Amino acid sequence: MAESTEKMRPKQTPKVYFTDFRTHTDQPITVKLQRLIKKAGIGDIDMDGKFVAIKMHFGELGNLAFLRPNYAKAVADVVKELGGKPFLTDCNTLYPGSRKNALDHLYCAEVNGFNYMTTGCEVIIADGLRGTDDVEVPVKNGTIFDTALIGRAIMDADVFISLTHFKGHESTGFGGTLKNIGMGCGSRGGKMLQHNDGKPHVDPDLCRTCKRCAKECGSDAISYESGKAVIDQDICKGCGRCIGACAFDAISNDNEGAFEILGQKIAEYTQAVCYGRPCFHISLITDVSPNCDCHSENDAPILPDIGMLASFDPVALDQACVDLCQKADPVRNSQLGDNLADPDKPHTGDHFYDSNPNTRWKQTLEHGEAIGLGTREYELVVMK
Ligand code: SF4
Ligand code: SF4
């Protein structure tokens, strides 16, 4: 039986390994990434002859901020060196888009450059053709869920690796490791259960009738009355994409606590995926777009490229990433820069909140810590 995450997690303060994107002519960034994950201890996991799921996001068609396939190949090659059988994986989306079923999802992954030739391993959509192939997995210490619905191929794997693009997010403040795992590994049913606490509404006084929100809503929940947007609460799935789409802050969530609950649910789904088996987590802070890679576009980065991080502890990894981001200077010509130049917007010094003021992110990590998923304390080990 595979060694458990509990056993593999260091008893003392977890280490998070970090390196920036500086390099020399003789060392590609992908080689530097391989050095980083080896230094962080990926070789301690017994992968010999085992199926190794590498969970990532292949990017919605039109988005260019997602991680390049070259990074996936770098990680997959290390897995193969260690004797493992890697595959790249993600689950289908809740909303219609270019990744809503396995065929469209595989096409999208191929168009965005993820195939055997570029990455050295296959792409498997973990929850099957229609997003219904899931496994009901216990949530250890869960306070919201007893079980979670996770894509079957992810749970069938012996070893789980998350490879995360760290960026902003219109619902969760930032999209990091817990978001990649918790929401990303949920089947369509699992995503529904995580999203069902908050549905947004439109303030007609703020709506400028631009009609951009309906283009973002894959569920056809938005219509227009006298030019103003109206959300059909019965059709809306609570995904939050329209909130990020509205440039005039006309859309917000009815339930003030909904994003906090969403973050806690994401932590519990991450627990379901990771508990009781060997896991390893990698996060790259690059192309820090204000919103999720699920959007069919990506606005200019709100922060500069910062670096690559790896850890056995997913909570510590997200905390380290957000701490590094908070120290960075905002990009002036970006959503965050625009908000900071606007005297009517909040200026808290928290770059993710100032970029997407509706969002909450701390509760996700606090809840992850409370249920034993990991710890927000960490030791940062810097690799040159
Ligand atoms: S995106 Fe915002 S301003 Fe534009 S129609 Fe929708 S709610 Fe109104
Ligand atoms: S939250 Fe917005 S984008 Fe998502 S389903 Fe509801 S109306 Fe559509």
pLDDT by residue (tens digit) across 163-219?
999 999 988 999 999 999 999 999 988 988 888 776 888 999 999 999 988 988 878
- Same domain? 222 vs 260: no
- Do 186 and 205 belong together in one domain? no
Task: Report whether residue 354 contacts ligand 2, using a CB cutoff of 6 Å.
Answer: no
Q: What is the pLDDT of residues 234-276, one digit of tens each?
A: 998 877 777 767 878 788 776 656 788 999 999 999 999 999 9
CATH of the domain at 247: 3.30.70.20
Q: Are residues 97 and 242 in the same domain?
A: no
Q: Give the structural domain span for 215.
A: 198-254
Which of 384, 155, 167, 134 minimizes the C-alpha distance to 288? 167
Predicted confidence at residue 1, as pLDDT, reads 35
User: Of ligand 2's atoms, which has the minimum distance to the CA of residue 231?
Assistant: 7
User: pLDDT value at position 260?
Assistant: 87
* Residues 152 and 294 placed together within one structural domain of the fold: yes
Residues 242 and 268 in one domain: no
Both structure tokens of 284: 């790259």
* Maximum distance among all Cα pairs of the chain, rounded to whole angstroms: 63
Residue where a domain stops, chosen among 211, 236, 254:
254
Q: Are residues 137 and 108 in the same domain?
A: yes
* Structure confidence at residue 255 (pLDDT): 66
**129 and 268 both lie in a single domain:** yes
Contact 169, 175 (CB under 8 A): yes
Domain end, chosen from 236, 254, 272, is at 254
Q: Is 24 helix (H, G, I), strand (E, B) or coil?
A: coil
Same domain, 182 and 243: no
Do both 273 and 205 map to the same domain?
no
**Ligand 2 neighbourhood includes 240 CB (under 6 angstroms):** yes
Cα–Cα distance, 204 to 215 (Å, whole number): 18
Domain identity same for 271 and 250: no
- 219 shares its domain with 117: no
* Ligand 2: centre distance to CA 213 (Å): 8
pLDDT at 237: 80
Query: Of 214, 230, 254, which one is at a domain's C-terminal end?
Result: 254
Ligand 2 atom closest to residue 240's alpha carbon, by position in its atom list: 1
CB contact set of 54 (below 8 Å; sequence gap of 6+): 72, 75, 76, 79, 86, 87, 88, 89, 121, 161, 162, 163
Domain tally, the chain:
2
Distance, CA of 139 to CA of 371 (rounded, Å): 9
Residues 175 and 129 in one domain: yes
Q: What number does the ligand 2 atom closest to the CA of 239 have?
A: 4
The confidence score (pLDDT) of residue 371 equals 98
What is the predicted pLDDT for the residue at 3? 44
Query: For residue 262, how far is its CA from the centre of ligand 2 (angstroms)?
Result: 15
Ligand 2 geometric centre to CA of 236 (Å): 5
Spell out, as residue ranges, where the chain has pLDDT lower than 70.
Answer: 1-11, 96, 198, 244, 254-257
